[in-house]
Amino acid sequence: MRAMAWASVFGVLPWLTFTAQAAEKVSRAEDREAVAVAIYNDALALVKEVRQLELDRGVNDIALRDVSAKMRPETASLRAVSGPPLRLIEQNFDFDLLTPQKLLDKYVGQSVTVIRTNPATGVETRETAQVLATNAGAVLRFADRIETGVPGRLTFNAIPGNLRERPTLVVKLESAAAGRQVAELSYLSGGLSWKADYVAELAGDESRLDLAGWVTLTNQSGTAYENARLQLVAGDVNRVRQDMVAKAGMVAMAAPAPAREMAREEVFDYHLYTLGRPTSILDNQTKQVALLSAAAVPVRKEYLLAGQGWYYQGQASDLGQKQKVAVFLEFENAGGDLGKPLPKGIVRVYKKDAGGNAIFIGEDAIDHTPKNDRLRLKMGNAFDVTATRKQTAFRQLAGRPNPVHETAWRLDVSNAKEQPVTVKVVEPMPGDWEIISASQPHEKGEAHAAVWQLRVPAGGKQVLEYAVRVR
């Protein structure tokens, strides 16, 4: 017998007393000899545990405790590592966890013992009552009356078989011999996730940056993994979708552990990152570990003014208002300390001001990026570089079914900065198009885009005028 405090939803502080479940062999976290966790991008993990089991010859009922509360039980597998093979007969995943409320709910229609203490004398009295309902509060039937609420301490005869204090995988297996045996339990689980976060510091002259990558692990699986071998799988693994909704909860932040970069290898069409030391991932914890570090990475800054395809399909209304010029940073995932696959994540960029204080200048998401590929980060919109756009002419040369029209535009790009800038102008053109006149030369960036590189002087402006025939 043991007692358990309960902060009651019924407004009093009763006590519960219950007896232990029927005897079964119990395996706990301390019985683990080893644990390995491979975490995927999409809130999925493969958990492998090696446990010592004390078995009888014949059929055994084993309660494997401290497994993930978000286990996918259909993926669970138990096999013998040493000794004779084990024959699995049946397995059940009990995830209905023991709480005072659930215990009382399970006793609807059954009898409990109510213990009251006289506050003046300290004398205890005991009565038997039947639990009639627990919907919005307890309803108890005594021999001569019905009461609501919980009028004291309750004692229960036993814990219902499917109500567990921790998530438990219960297996019925047959062993050919008695004694200690090592077995491996593996299963897929939700509640474990990871993401990559990158911090970049841009140099004062904006020609180079320092890049650091961190892996952020989150464990909301309902159990802890002590001294685990940790692996992260980067890539888009195809999964048959199931209802695996993770509950949001409070997360404890662990300080980033000083560690060398994670070892990397290619497995199938994915990349596997392995932490070089065991680590503990506690329940409801976020942990950060080092992924990579690269210094003095060459970077290029780009100002981009992008048009819209519909500009060239008819007579446009007044577009003379200022248009935003976007700012991008580009660098190659190659050379130096880079040149390795980068998991998808968010890159946050900082730059120091004149006083040496780091200022956040923007962030952007990157997809899985192979080595030697280019990363392009949008930082935001320029403050001092602006543009105005105006349609100066429009005429239709032919109507349907094969319309042909000509349209002319003027772009005024202004630069209030103290140094000149180059603004890349990209104009998407629908259909079969032809530049029939332009004040500056253009390039055909792709099948449906014309590109200009405008050099805008410090404190000045640059004008681009062009006409387009679209078929």
What is the predicted pLDDT for the residue at 460? 96
pLDDT tens sequence across 395-454: 888 777 778 888 999 999 999 999 999 999 999 888 788 899 999 999 987 778 899 999
What's the pLDDT at 320? 60
Backbone angles phi, psi at 448, to 5 degrees: -125, 40
Residue-level pLDDT at 82? 84
pLDDT at 262: 64
Residue 266: per-residue pLDDT:
65
Q: What is the mean pLDDT of residues 31-37?
A: 93
In angstroms, the Cα distances linking 212 to 202, 330, 383, 391 are: 12, 16, 28, 46
- Phi, psi (5° rounding) for residue 59? -85, 135
In contact, 21 and 63? CB cutoff 8 Å: no
| Phi, psi (degrees; rounded to nearest 5) at 321 | -70, 160
**pLDDT level of residue 380 (50, 70, 90 thresholds):** very high
Using 50, 70 and 90 to split pLDDT, how confident is the model at 247? very low
Distance CA 441, CA 462 (A): 14
What confidence tier does 241 reach under pLDDT thresholds 50, 70, 90? Answer: low
**Token couple for 331:** 């660098």
pLDDT at 161: 67
Residue 159 has what pLDDT?
Answer: 80
Query: What single DSSP character describes residue 257?
Result: B
**Which stretches does DSSP call E strand in 19-167?**
25-27, 32-40, 44-55, 58-65, 77-80, 86-94, 111-117, 124-133, 139-141, 146-148, 153-155
Q: With residue 463 as reference, give the H or E element that holds it.
A: strand 461-470
When pLDDT is cut at 50, 70 and 90, the band that residue 341 belongs to is confident
Mean pLDDT of 257-265: 53
Whether the predicted pLDDT of 239 surpasses 50: yes
Sheet holding 449-456, edge to edge: 433-438, 461-470, 404-415, 374-398, 322-332, 300-306, 421-428, 449-456, 443-446
**Measured distance CA(23)–CA(384) in Å, rounded:** 76
* 8 Å CB contact between 101 and 134: yes
Nearest Cα residue to 62 out of 166, 158, 221, 174: 174
Please give the average per-residue pLDDT across 291-299, as a whole number: 92
According to the model, what pLDDT value does residue 11 have? 32
Whether the per-residue pLDDT at 43 is higher than 50: the answer is yes
Which residues, listed in sequence order, are joined to residue 364 by a DSSP beta bridge?
Answer: 347
Per-residue pLDDT at 269: 66
The residue behind tokens 């993930």 is 68
Question: pLDDT at residue 165 above 50?
Answer: yes
Looking at the predicted structure, is the pLDDT value of residue 292 above 70? yes
CA distances from 194 to 67, 168, 288 (A): 19, 25, 9
Question: Burial letters for 308-326: b for 16+ Cβ neighbours within 10 Å, e otherwise?
Answer: eeebbeeebeeeeeebebb
Q: What are phi and psi of 390, to 5 degrees?
A: -145, 130
Average pLDDT over residues 29-48: 91
* pLDDT tens track for 175-227: 999 999 999 999 999 999 999 999 999 999 999 999 999 999 999 999 999 99
CB-CB neighbours of 336 under 10 Å: 11
| Closest of 320, 34, 308, 60 to residue 179, by C-alpha | 60
Q: Which of 15-19, 98-102, 261-265, 394-398 has the lowest mean pLDDT?
A: 15-19
The tokens for 403 are 């319309």
Please provide residue 235's backbone torsions phi and psi, each rounded to the nearest 5 degrees.
150, 165
Read off the amino acid at residue 332. E
User: What local confidence, expressed as pLDDT, does residue 16 receive?
Assistant: 39
Is the pLDDT at 62 greater than 80? The verdict is: yes
> Three-class SS of residue 312?
helix
Domains of the chain, CATH where assigned? 1-190 (no CATH), 192-298 (no CATH), 300-330+377-470 (2.60.40)
Looking at the whole model, is its pTM more than 0.75?
Answer: no
CA distance 427 to 323: 14
- Mean model confidence pLDDT for the chain: 84
Q: Could you tell me whether strands 285-298 and 252-253 are parallel, antiparallel, or unpaired per DSSP bridges?
A: parallel
The CA angle 239-245-251, to the nearest 5 degrees, is 115
* Amino acid making up residue 360: F
Residue whose token pair is 């474990």: 192
Percent share of the chain, pLDDT over 70: 87
pLDDT at site 129: 93
- Model pLDDT, residue 13: 32
Compute the CA torsion angle 251, 253, 254, 256 (nearest 10 deg): 130
What pLDDT does residue 115 have? 93
Q: What pLDDT band is residue 22 in, cutting at 50, 70 and 90?
A: very low
Please say whether the beta carbons of 251 and 285 come within 8 A: yes
Query: Does the pLDDT value for residue 263 go beyond 70?
Result: no
* Strand spans (E) along 353-420: 358-366, 374-398, 404-415
